[in-house]
Amino acid sequence: MLDRISASLPSLAPAEQRVGQLVLADPHSFARLPVRELAEKANVSKPTVVRFCRSLGYDGLADFKLKLAGNVAEGVPYVHRSVNIDDKTSDVLVKVIDNSVAAFLQYRNDASPQAMEQAVNSIVGAWHQKKRLEIYGVGNSGVVAHDAQHKFFRLGITSQATSDTHIQAMGATMLEPGDCVIFISNSGRTRDLVDVAKTAEKRGATVIAITSSHTPQSDACHILLAANNHEGSDLYSPMASRLLHLLIIDILATAVALKIGDSLAEKSQNLRASLQSKRYEI
Nearest of 8, 6, 19 to residue 57 by alpha carbon: 8
The H or E element containing residue 206 is strand 206-211
Q: Is residue 126 part of a domain?
A: yes
Q: Is residue 187 part of a domain?
A: yes
Q: Is residue 165 part of a domain?
A: yes
181 has which bridge partners? Answer: 134, 207
What are the φ/ψ torsions at residue 273 (nearest 5 degrees)? -65, -40
Domain count, the chain: 2
Residue 9's CATH number: 1.10.10.10
Cβ-based burial of 125 (10 A; exposed 0-12, middle 13-18, buried ≥19): middle
179 and 129 within one domain: yes
Question: What pLDDT sits at residue 43?
Answer: 93
Q: Is residue 101 part of a domain?
A: no
Final residue of a structural domain among 10, 42, 72: 72
68 and 146 within one domain: no
246 and 116 within one domain: yes
Model confidence, pTM? 0.70
Q: pLDDT tens-digit profile of 189-243?
A: 999 999 999 999 999 999 999 999 989 999 999 999 999 876 666 555 677 888 9
Whole-number percent of the chain with pLDDT over 70? 89
Per-residue pLDDT band at 78 (split at 50, 70, 90): very low
30 and 119 within one domain: no
233 and 140 within one domain: yes
- Structural domain of 46: 2-72
Per-residue pLDDT band at 72 (split at 50, 70, 90): low
Q: Is residue 103 part of a domain?
A: no
127 and 242 within one domain: yes
151 and 67 within one domain: no
For the chain, the first-to-last Cα distance in angstroms comes to 60
Count CB-CB contacts under 10 A for residue 136: 29
149 and 45 within one domain: no
pLDDT at 81 over 80: no
Q: Is residue 179 part of a domain?
A: yes
Question: What pLDDT sits at residue 231?
Answer: 63
Mean pLDDT of 12-25: 92
User: CA 131 to CA 62: how far, in whole Å?
Assistant: 35
57 and 166 within one domain: no
Residue 202's CATH number: 3.40.50.10490
Q: Which comes out higher in pLDDT, residue 6 or 35?
A: 35
Question: What pLDDT sits at residue 246?
Answer: 96
Per-residue pLDDT band at 265 (split at 50, 70, 90): low
Per-residue pLDDT band at 91 (split at 50, 70, 90): confident
Mean pLDDT of 129-157: 94
127 and 47 within one domain: no
Final residue of a structural domain among 53, 72, 91: 72
User: CA 136 to CA 147: how far, in whole Å?
Assistant: 11
Q: Is residue 88 part of a domain?
A: no
